[in-house]
Structure 1
Amino acid sequence: HASSGASTDALRAAEKSELLFRECGDWKGEVDALLAMSESKVSVCEDNDRTCGNLNILKFAKAAVKLAKERRAGDWVCLGNAHYTYAKVLLQTNSARGAGLAAKDAVRAFRKAGMEQRKGYALLAWAQADLKGGYFGDARGHLEKADAIFSNFDDNDGRGKVYQVNDDIDRAMGIPTQAELEAQRQQEMMMMQQQAMQWQMMQQGGGQMPQNVQMIQQQQYMQDEEQKRGGGGASAFSREASVIDLSGGLDATVVQGKIRALAAQIIGDDEDMETDTPLMEAGLTSNTAVLLRDELSRDVPGINLPPTLIFDYPSIGAIAEFILEASAKKALKGKKQ
């Protein structure tokens, strides 16, 4: 029933099998039946586009995990499936922290079982939990690993889900999704083609290329150059963390210099950036803005940088001021304690 998409019929069959296995004392079958019940109930919720709070499925998924730990401790496949199903149920009931812990356990179990593709789906669930918790950088890290796994298995369905969660992160951060950016780019390309046709008609009369065509071609050139550098993504950027010691009360110029150097590395621009220039105007993109925040977090441990750092504090000077103020507050709090 489940493989044919008949979620309701699958749920009824799983409920009957769970009762039979329990009456027979077949704990192995009971674990499988509890998992099937939980998965079927989640599918019913997804089919009807609603949450599962009213279907009381949490106890079944929790019971499956408990029974798997007690009776099938060495069966990593069963444990992985139990934790993964529990994570999906917790995501449906909006328990982000619990879902993240369950997904993490599922990743570990599937790794021990050698089930790489299933590990990819557990990483996907982990990313969804981090998204709900507001940990956007961590969520993207899990998605990157999941996407690499799905690529190895030619799993287009898995890659499509990674794409969807990445879009959800963009929406949560208030920035355009990849689909929206692509639609905008296609619209600009159509406009360019139309204007190019007009320009060709003007050539015979000695006219010049319209300004908006020049601008669009320049934008296209910049996008192509970014792709050549690796798209500005995390996969094209790696470095060792260089921790800033804020305990000695550093002045703003030192922190600004660190931010400026890191931004230049990510953007790929050797020119000195002004302190008050918005970094998005200097060449930072929505994706590399997240990367800059994540990399900067490694250099200022103990300072909580918000996921929307670059959008709330757009310039080098504003970011440095925020870090120094946060550091001063932390030091003051430490003295009071």
Structure 2
Amino acid sequence: MISLDDIRSAATVIAPHVVRTPLLPFGPGWLKPESLQPIGAFKLRGALNALARLENRANGVVAYSSGNHAQAVAFAARLHGVPAAIVMPSNTPAVKIEATKALGAEVFIVGITERVERAEALVAERGAALIPPFDHPDVIAGQGTIGLEILEDLPDVQAVVVPMSGGGLISGVATAIKTLRPDVRVIGAEPALAADIADSLHRGELTRWDPVERAQTAADALRDEPSALTWEHISKLVDDVITVSEEEIFDAMAQLARGARLITEPSGAVAVAAQAKLGGGVAVVSGGNVDPALLVRVLRT
């Protein structure tokens, strides 16, 4: 498991390139709007930390992602002047694919169950370095810097609500918070249609859901599943999980747009939907890279 020192070191590495997002009052609690990052999502933190620590990046980097990690790795690779090849599943929103290409990355579109295999093949072919979306200690440490900032800005925080999928974000945030403030509750938030972590915690062991089943949620950035590494953090550090319906996710998106003036993707609104059920705390708004057509439909309802 990662340590607080890992997270503090990551904070120093990434500080020149990320936005130190503020805490915004909203409803019963606060928002941590990571949608305001240069690539529109928290993923930039982990990608910057991981790429900066690579000993050999001369042959470029490879990543697989449903969109936000793709943009983060492309951004970090461009910053360091190395090529990036990104493998993305065919159900990725077009807005995320185009944004990744615009950052200079080479993009490969594959079936939803083929991205890891294709990425590993590219690594072997090119001698490149793989930067996974969550299953890496440097990535987790980078995401954990969010937890440090929350505690610095709101020392009396009682609960932090974090969206979960692969688990890198909540693993890092929970490590920072539980190390410094064990009394603060760390609550995971999941779409009910992809609630494999909630199921796992209920059973007391890591439970796998069919990827086609998880793909039913509109929260495209939350369709992944935890690794052994992130599950170790989650099972030890996360206090509870709140699941939310698709309707609750869309309602949170609309409330954020109208009440907080924040544009969020479905995945970015999941923690806010869970926060409403919890009745307080800080909700991490993980991303804002929403398909424009979907946003229009949400705001019209």
Same fold (TM over 0.5): no
Structure with higher RCO (Cα < 8 A, 6+ apart): 2
TM-score (norm 2): 0.26
Q: Higher strand share goes to which structure?
A: 2
Q: Higher helix share goes to which structure?
A: 1
Structure with the greater alpha carbon radius of gyration: 1
